[in-house]
Structure formats: C-alpha cells, structure tokens
Amino acid sequence: MRSLPKEIVFCLASGIGYGLAWAPVGFWILALVMPGLFFSRLLVGDRRELFIKSISFFTGAWFTAFFWIALHPVPTTAITSVLVLFSLACLVSLFIALFASRAPTSSPVQRIILAAGAWFLFDLLLSKGPIAMPWMNAGLSAADSAWALEWVKIGGVNALSFLVLSSNACIALILKKKHPWVAIAILSISVAYPFLASREHIPTSPDSLAIGIVQPNWTPSDWSDVTDGSKAGSLLDITLDENLILDGVLLPETALPIGSEETLRAHLSAMADSLGAPVFSGGILQEGDEYFNVVVSSDTSNAVYKKRRMVPFVETVPFSNWIPFFERFSVNSGGVSSYRQGAEMPLVHIAGRAAGILICFESLFFRDALTYRRAGAELLLIHTQDGWWSSDSPRRQHFAFSRLLAAAIGLPVVQSSVDGISGFIDSRGNVISSNVVSSNITAKGRAGTSELLTETLSLSQSSTLYYRFGDWPIISFFLFIFLPFLVRTKTLSGSDQVVLHET
C-alpha cells in the first residue's frame, strides 16, 4: 500500500486532470476518467484518510477549473469566493468520507459505489437552499462536448452527473479488476450512445423572431455603477440598419441605471423609439429601501421579472434575514450591497410569442427553465454580465451551460452579455451565431465599442425526455441503486476489526 503523502499527490494530480475537462481547456473525456483514478484510491483508509484524499482531489480539480474566482477586481468578493469554494470542497469530501467508510475495505465495489453516490447526493444539494451553486455540478464538467448535448436531453444535468460518476466508478472497477467486463460494457454504452443515436429531425418552424442583441462591452467599473445615468444615454447611440426590422432587442443584465419601474420603462421607451423595436433590458429596480435585479420591457404589458436566485455573498448574504449580523459581510456593488429575492416567474411576450427570462447563473437551474416551457414559453432569454473576471474561462463555461439548457429543455435560447459571449442557440443546443470568432471563445472588442448581433431565430422545439419527465426518473434510478448498498453496509465490518480472545 502506498504511503498517505503519495496518495495525496496522486489524488491531487487526478483532480488537476479532472479540472482540465472544464472549459476553456475542454478536454471533456478527462471527466470520464480522472475521478475514476481518484475512486480507486478510496479502497483503503479510515474516514480521516478518505477525507484527506478527497480534499486533495477537489482542491486540485476545482481550483484548476475555477481559478478565475480569485481574479475578481473586488478583493472582498475574491476572498469570499475562494473561501466558499474551499468550504464546498470540504463538504463534498466529508460526504465521500462518511459514506465510503461505511463499507469494509474487503468490499471495493461497495466503497466505489458509495463514494460515487455521495458525490451525486452533493450535486443534488448544489441546486438547493440559499447557498446553491450548481456551477460545480459534476455533469457540467463535460458541457463543452457533443456527448453532453445528447445525454442531457434524457435527464437534464442530473443525468450528466449520474453518467460522469457512473463511468468513473466503472474505471475504478476496471483498474481493480472487479467485474471488469460489466464495467467495460457500461462504460462503452455511456461513451458510445450519443454518437450512435439517431439525431431527431426538427423541422424548421414557420414561426420565427428577428432579434437583436446589444453587447455594450463595458468594463466592470463602467457597468457596476448602477447610479450612472449616462449608461442609458450611451446605449441610445446605437443605431440599426434602416433595412433591418426586428421584433425585439435585448440588452444585458444591469444595463440600466438604478430607478423606479417608471424610470426604467422611460429609458426603454426612448430606446425602443430610437431602435424601432421593443427593448428588453436588465436593470436595478428600487422599491422604497429595497433593490431588485430585474429585466424590464419597453412594452408595459410585460411584467417586470425580478431575479429569484441570488448569487451567494455577491448579491446577498445567506441567512442574513435571520441573522442580521451577517449583513456585515455584504459587498457594495456600485451602490447596492444586497438585493431582494423575486418570487414569480412571469412569461413575457415578443411579437406575441411567449418567452421565459433567466438572469445570470439562473440558467444553471434547469428546473426553472422546465417550468417556463410547461407554462407555454417558446424560447428562453438569458441576461447576464460575465464580465467581472480578467479570464475568459467563466464566459466560455457559462455559454456551454446555456447550450446544455437549450438541448435539455428543447427550446431556443438567446443569451445577452455585458462583456462576454452573446449569441443564439437552437433547441438542440447548436450555436446559430455568436460574437466569437470561429472556435475562439475570446469575445471581440472587450474594452471597445458596443456590438450589435442580429438573427432570425426559428421557434422550432424539441420534445426531449427531460421535458416530459423532468429529474425524477434519474433520481429514482439512483436511489434504487444507491440505497441497497447503503443499507447493507456498516461502519466497521468484522474483517476490519481486531478481536482479542482469551485462551
């Protein structure tokens, strides 16, 4: 057996390899291999050793994939984000240590399945509660691939997580020569299915919308000052081709200065008159002493959408409603230190077609998009910023996640960003057009002039299994496999105990 320091180095290296599966490197096949190497090192050791191995793996993985959180220009936000990321790494490591240690070392199959199951349970919790951060979901590590685009149609991002972790459990079993042929068969099906499955033919819908996206390409200091009234004026300088007739124009998150609903709509009305098309824009709505991150339309018949899912510690401090002292940890962003949470998910209409709105990382909550489609939405609008960091990694990751969202829900998606990647995605997750040069994900004109992207977007829809059944089939299948292994294990088996008998 290797010494613990060597085991730590091995797990750390495996984690770094797993981190390279995420965009922008995007070697997605590593997501199906590297955690398996980590699982193979969990077959020996008590809870303390399993925790140390796990924290080594996740530290290497997540700080490779999400190094950009330390590059936030606001030091408090950067430090807080790093601490939260490390805390989540500790939490998932604790999950794995507690569950995997329940199986005796003489039962490697149980240990591997319990470790993978603990990670999957953690992924389910990542989309729950006030500190929800599904960005680290295991299934998203393969987002930048055709493999993920096919599997996500079956069970959403939870199906991706289940497959990523199942494939890695098979890798560990193969390495330990435990049921290798069964593991090879499962792994082969997982990898091959998306490339062998027949592609659903989606006829071009006669219904379409001509949509424009305005990307300001402001620096973070420019757009973060929510009290700067000149922001709306600079957007008015944008003009359209005289021959271009649009059904709607999208502006990104917080493009408008802070104000009441009447003030925000007045800005948009002036823009709509200038552009000759209805305008949808992000802004900061002030209602008394409360502030909301919103999307407002120049069409007064459309309700104001108030962001429902706050970014922890950036837009609101978790649990501060019950523990006022926590408000001390809030970050003043352009004049607003804490946003209030919206409650409703109203549909908006563009040229008579229904659309659902998601702001920033709300696009990672696939259930919300599912709710929109079941309510009658024909497309999804994502208004985001993606401009805080000096790295293009979060921009590419977010756009890859939006492609998965479109493929899973079966609706076209339009993403509008302040400084990042804006573009149009069809209902199968294919990029129709975006403001990137071929496969280069670096956005054009970062500190330059505003960009205007236009596209005639078909409203063709896909009838995916995820749209029909949601998350429950995958979750139920997981529990059917995981719970029996959990019930049959105990903290220490007889083979792990030293029993002294008197002669």
Is the pLDDT higher at 444 or at 89?
89
Residue 338: predicted pLDDT: 77
Write the pLDDT tens digit of every residue in 454-482.
Answer: 999 999 999 899 999 999 999 999 999 88
Give me the CATH number covering residue 261: 3.60.110.10
Q: pLDDT tens across 236-258, in order?
A: 666 666 567 899 999 999 888 88
* 346 is a domain residue: yes
- How distant is the alpha carbon of residue 48 from its chain centre? 31
pTM of the model: 0.90
Alpha-carbon distances of 422 from 216, 370, 402, rounded to whole Å: 11, 22, 11
- Quote the domain boundaries for residue 250: 208-465
State the average pLDDT for the chain: 86
> pLDDT tens digit string along 152-194?
999 999 999 999 999 999 999 999 988 889 899 989 988 888 8
pLDDT of the residue at 440: 34
Residues 416 and 486 both lie in one domain: no
How is the beta sheet containing 451-458 ordered, strand by strand?
A: 305-306, 290-297, 279-287, 248-250, 208-215, 451-458
Separation between Cα atoms, residue 198 and residue 195, nearest integer Å: 8
What amino acid occupies position 294? Answer: V
The answer to whether residues 151 and 470 touch, using CB atoms and an 8 Å cutoff, is no
- Domain identity same for 22 and 113: yes
Please tell me whether residues 415 and 478 are part of one structural domain: no
Look up residue 244 and give its two tokens.
Answer: 């271009």
Query: Do 338 and 241 fall within a single domain?
Result: yes
46-78 pLDDT tens trace: 999 999 999 999 999 999 999 998 888 778 778
**Amino acid sitting at position 57:** F
CA atoms within 13 A on the CB side of 244: 16
Which tokens hold the place of 18? 């797993």
Does a cis peptide bond (omega within 30 degrees of 0) precede residue 324?
no
Higher pLDDT, 427 or 3: 427
Q: 346: exposed, middle or buried (C-beta count within 10 Å: 0-12, 13-18, 19+)?
A: middle
Residues 357 and 435 in one domain: yes
Position 501 in a domain: no
User: For residue 502, is it within any domain?
Assistant: no
Q: 301 near 349, Cβ under 8 Å?
A: yes
Task: Name beta bridge partners: 189.
Answer: none
Characterize the bridge pairing of strands 413-417 and 423-425: antiparallel
Q: Which pLDDT band, with edges at 50, 70 and 90, does 449 fall under?
A: low
Question: Is pLDDT above 50 for 492?
Answer: no
Domain match, 189 and 62 both: yes
At 88-134, the pLDDT tens digits run 999 999 999 999 999 888 889 999 999 999 999 999 999 887 778 89
State the total domains in the chain: 2
* Tens-digit pLDDT profile for residues 284-334: 999 988 889 999 999 999 999 999 998 887 777 665 565 565 565 566 655
- Residue 176 DSSP one-character state: T
- 60 membership: H or E segment, kind and range: helix 47-65
Structure confidence at residue 402 (pLDDT): 96
Same structural domain, 301 and 152: no
State whether 290 and 173 are in the same domain: no
Tokens of 500: 């002294």
Domain-located, residue 99: yes
Count of beta carbons in the 10 Å neighbourhood of residue 231: 20
pLDDT tens-place string over residues 375-419: 999 999 999 988 777 788 899 999 999 999 999 999 999 999 988
**pLDDT value at 498 more than 50:** no
Residue 256 counted as domain residue: yes
Is there a single domain that holds both residue 192 and residue 244?
Answer: no
For residues 340 and 217, membership in a common domain is answered with yes
pLDDT exceeds 80 at position 436: no
pLDDT band at 442 (very low <50, low <70, confident <90, very high): very low
Tell me: do 129 and 220 sit in the same domain: no
Same domain, 52 and 127: yes
Contacts of 247 (CB under 8 A, 6+ apart): 209, 210, 211, 277, 278, 350, 351
